[in-house]
Structure 1
Amino acid sequence: MTVVIALRCLDGLVMGSDSQITDPGRGLTYPDQKLHPLGKRAAWGGSGSRAVLYDLEQIFGSEPESILEADDIGRALQARTVPVLEHHYECFIEKVPAQESSGATPATYVLAAGYTGDQPFIVDIDPHGLIGRHEGTGFQAIGSGAPMAQQAYTLLENFNMSDRGIDYGLLGVLRVLDALAVSSPSVGGPMDLCRITPEEAHHLSPDEVAEVREQVGQWKDREQKTLDVLFD
């Protein structure tokens, strides 16, 4: 199971993902990077076929500025993603002789967030090549863990993350990811976080993620203390 999340905050954007890859054909799980830079002020992640995502990583990595400087960021991502999807769909061999079906499929989702000029964007491309824009709602998740991520984020809605600064957004995204890791064995760490402002996209180091997790722990402790005295 994969989950990649994008959240709009008052002064920036946060992207986060787990790093556990499940290979149903071989019955394996292993860690891999799911968040990638997209130029200096954006990032992207994907879920689905590793072959498709590898090709997209080469394309997005070789021409990030032309994507971000396009008049329509959604169309720019779509124009590069759809031909890759079509190629893999055309070449995909669904049934392999003398081998049981592995459940593999080239279907792939892409989620990108960042800034074009001073305007934030949250864009996804689905396996049909359709564009989704999510700056208005301020939250989007892709991957097989997306429904649970949406539900977990809804439970945090009263904290009004979109009206708070980006440091609060990091706490919210990591809390959602950690909640999914507890509830689903196929979501696993280490968790990746990216802090995106109009100036830069900063991918947090493991030590920085650990600091954010410590702050999440303080948040939970204060919630517990509030609940303890609620009926006093």
Structure 2
Amino acid sequence: MATSAPPAPPRIFSSERRRAARRRLYALQRRPDAARYLIEDMHEDVLERLAFLRFEAARVLIVGDYTGELGRTMRAAGRDVTEIDPAEGFDEEQPYPFEGFDLIVSLGTLDTVNDLPGALIHIRRALAEGGMMIASFVASGSLPVLRDVMLAADGERPAPRLHPMVDVRAGGQLLQRTFFADPVIDQRSVKVGFRSLTRLIGDLRAQGLSNVLADPGPRFDKAAFQRASAAFAHMGEDGRTVETFEILTLSGWKK
């Protein structure tokens, strides 16, 4: 008796919009004042974890580091580093075209894949025995102010504008489902003050966090954006509104 194929994951995100957002990120990062505080926070966290574990990985794969800084640091330490990005057409939901890495670091990309368990399985398969994965991305609880002002601007008919996000509990379940050994799941907050909604949106675009939903909803018209901007300013103090980014990090081993 033939067995049916497992159902395809729901299409929440558009792969075309995702690639376009990553390409726009690279263009915006050419500006000298481009925001990169989230990736810098992730860099620091990765290096602290590796130093604590005293884990010396010979072959390293880095996914999504648009600054290249983490790769430069690891090469300076004598490691063989490969770097890839969805902007170049790399598809994390397909089997990796290479394997045998001692360490795979994924930064800021797994939050917008439709099949996150599948993506984690592909990472595990690309690791050598005894290899480690560290994956960080923006998670549940992020952008609470933006969510509120978007709802205020949309009124009685809110549109889908912000992404669904993974929380700590779901992250732990994902590592168990994908057979990572000794899993560690943690979350930390990054708080940033903004003088305007326009600046927040600019920072989101520059860091690859713009809307890549398959159904992105209708565009904001001028009146809706003015309502959102006014609500954003009202939620601040002394000319600044503080927004929160939650960074979820998943790590585990292939044993």
Shared fold (TM-score greater than 0.5)? no
TM-score where L is the length of structure 2: 0.27
Higher RCO (CA-CA < 8 Å; seq separation 6+): 1
TM-score for the superposition, normalised by structure 1:
0.29
